[in-house]
Amino acid sequence: MLQQIFAITIKDWQVLVRDRGGMISLFLMPIMFILVMSAAQQQMFEPASNDNPLEILVVNNDAGDLADEAIEALQSVDGIIAISEFEEVQLDRRGAENLIVDNLFNVAVVFPADFSGKVLAAANDPDADQAVVDFIADPSTSYQFLAPVRGALEGFIREQAAYAQMPLRLESGFESLAAGMPAEQAPFVKEIGTQFIAGLTSGSDAGEISNLGVRFEQSAPAAYQVEKFPTAAEQNVPGYTLFGVFFIIQVLATSILREKQDGTFRRLLVAPLPQTALLLGKLLPYYVVNLIQVASMFAIGHFVFGMRLGNSPAGMIVVTLATSAAATGLGLLVASLGKTPEQVGGLSTLLAVTLAAVGGMMVPTFTMPEIMQTIARISPHNWALAGYQDVIVRGLGLADVWLETGVLAGFALVFFLFAVWRFRFQDE
């Protein structure tokens, strides 16, 4: 029995090794996944440092000095770059919003004109009005990234406001104390207060202060039609849907390969129709399946999790049509390249997983190193996700997704034409 088991093992080993394409895909897929994910997540697991800085746009409209002091202190923090000028032009709110819309930055902090005045006015008035510091962020920015950034900046600004108020609070306290003292002792008490305040402003615990004169709000650039920031479903459902849509590659390619092996294609070639039309006919049912898949996933997100679908059904439709075309075109391309089920399965998984990882399905592209963000542009997943985010998360319409739709249609056309060129209707 052992001899028979050994003989079968040798035979299957020879068959496996003979399929070089299948063997390569077995090793190449995990290698590519490791390389892509490690490179994409490099900055996510490294603390902000001078080699890996966090860039934040800063708009200073403050008529006083406190915002300048806060910005100067912020710039001294390792790992943070506070950018108040861009291309030698002082940033205003509109300029900062435009840079966020252009995907050059993700977060901006806007100090209002009354920041200094209201912080100081609140030093001894718990009911004083508060200045509003605005955090402007791209609504597609994930909460996991934005929350700690905003929390850190809020804490820093509150600390600066507390330090600015403390001398006024203490001075007022000593003056109140002196007012209740005998006249000959009052100057002595005031002098102690002056010396104490001078030493305190060199740095100490800010303590708990009831009204720092500042509060914080979060908003999106005015160019986006955003009523409120997206929920977890609105952030995640489009990405996971796209991850599933592109797995049509393996189903489509395996089906075509099976028909070629069964001889079905030989019989179809007898029919009086061009070969290109034959391939289009093969793609159409899988294209429809993709459309149904997207509709189903978004319906679940909407009815189960309350996911908003944006303000432009037409924008959603054209992005979905172009995305499905790119996915099925890539499936046909894999069918034209693979010769065995192992090759088709390995190549399909390799492309579906790697392009998804590169395109931002698993790691947001804005957290990737700059070179990875550039590479992401070659992934149809990246363009499809950007289109859905424009409609669902940013509240944009049909006129704003033509670029993404055109690029996806270009991917579909290139995939299809290359597949037609390489396709073997009859195996040698």
Q: What is the pLDDT of residues 267-290, one digit of tens each?
A: 666 666 677 777 788 888 889 999
More confident residue, 58 or 72: 58
Q: What is the reported pLDDT for 119? A: 84
| Contact present, 256 and 335 (Cβ < 8 Å) | yes
Of 231-245, 261-275, 323-337, which range is least confident?
261-275
Count H helices, E strands: the chain? 16, 7
More confident residue, 341 or 411: 411
- Asked if pLDDT for residue 91 goes beyond 80, the answer is yes
- Asked if pLDDT for residue 93 goes beyond 50, the answer is yes
Of 14-18, 61-65, 244-248, which range is least confident?
14-18
- Asked if pLDDT for residue 339 goes beyond 90, the answer is no
More confident residue, 242 or 30: 242
Q: What is the reported pLDDT for 424? A: 75
Q: What is the reported pLDDT for 318? A: 96
Q: At residue 142, what is the residue type?
A: S
- Asked if pLDDT for residue 245 goes beyond 60, the answer is yes
- What sign does the dihedral 270-271-275-281 (CA atoms) show? negative
Domain positions in the chain? 54-219, 228-422
Q: Locate tokens 């390969």: which residue?
A: 257
- Asked if pLDDT for residue 315 goes beyond 50, the answer is yes
- Asked if pLDDT for residue 47 goes beyond 90, the answer is no
Q: Tokens at residue 343, please?
A: 């090759």
Average pLDDT over residues 410-422: 92
Which of 18-22, 341-345, 363-367, 417-421 has the highest average model confidence (pLDDT)? 417-421
- Asked if pLDDT for residue 130 goes beyond 50, the answer is yes
Average pLDDT over residues 194-223: 64
What is the Cα–Cα distance from 222 to 259, expressed in whole angstroms? 54
Q: What is the reported pLDDT for 206? A: 43
Which of 70-79, 185-194, 348-357 has the highest average model confidence (pLDDT)? 348-357
Average pLDDT over residues 219-237: 82
Q: At residue 380, what is the residue type?
A: P
- Asked if pLDDT for residue 210 goes beyond 90, the answer is no
Q: What is the reported pLDDT for 13? A: 55
CA distances from 187 to 124, 168, 170, 184, 191 (A): 22, 18, 15, 7, 6
How, if at all, do strands 54-60 and 107-111 pair?
A: parallel
The CATH number of 54-219 is: 3.40.1710
- Asked if pLDDT for residue 387 goes beyond 80, the answer is yes
Of 125-129, 177-181, 353-357, which range is least confident?
177-181
More confident residue, 258 or 29: 258
In 305-325, which positions are buried (b, 16+ CB within 10 angstroms) versus exposed (e)? eebbbbebeebbebbbbbbbb
Which of 68-72, 257-261, 405-409, 420-424 has the highest average model confidence (pLDDT)? 405-409
Q: What is the reported pLDDT for 347? A: 85
Q: Tokens at residue 14, please?
A: 């020879």
- Asked if pLDDT for residue 237 goes beyond 70, the answer is yes
CA distances from 74 to 157, 168, 170, 411 (A): 9, 23, 25, 44
Percent of the chain at pLDDT exceeding 70: 73
Q: What is the reported pLDDT for 188? A: 47
Q: What is the reported pLDDT for 177? A: 47
Among candidate residues 367, 336, 371, 333, the one with its CA nearest the CA of residue 246: 333
Average pLDDT over residues 138-155: 78
Q: What is the reported pLDDT for 48? A: 47
Which of 155-159, 210-214, 399-403 has the highest average model confidence (pLDDT)? 399-403
Give residue 257's pLDDT band: very low, low, confident or very high (50, 70, 90).
Answer: confident
Q: What is the reported pLDDT for 95? A: 92
Q: What is the reported pLDDT for 256? A: 81
Quote the distance between the C-alpha of residue 322 and its chain's center: 21
Averaged confidence pLDDT in the chain:
77
Give residue 31's pLDDT band: very low, low, confident or very high (50, 70, 90).
Answer: low
Average pLDDT over residues 32-47: 50
What is the Cα–Cα distance from 424 to 415, expressed in whole angstroms? 15
More confident residue, 118 or 208: 118
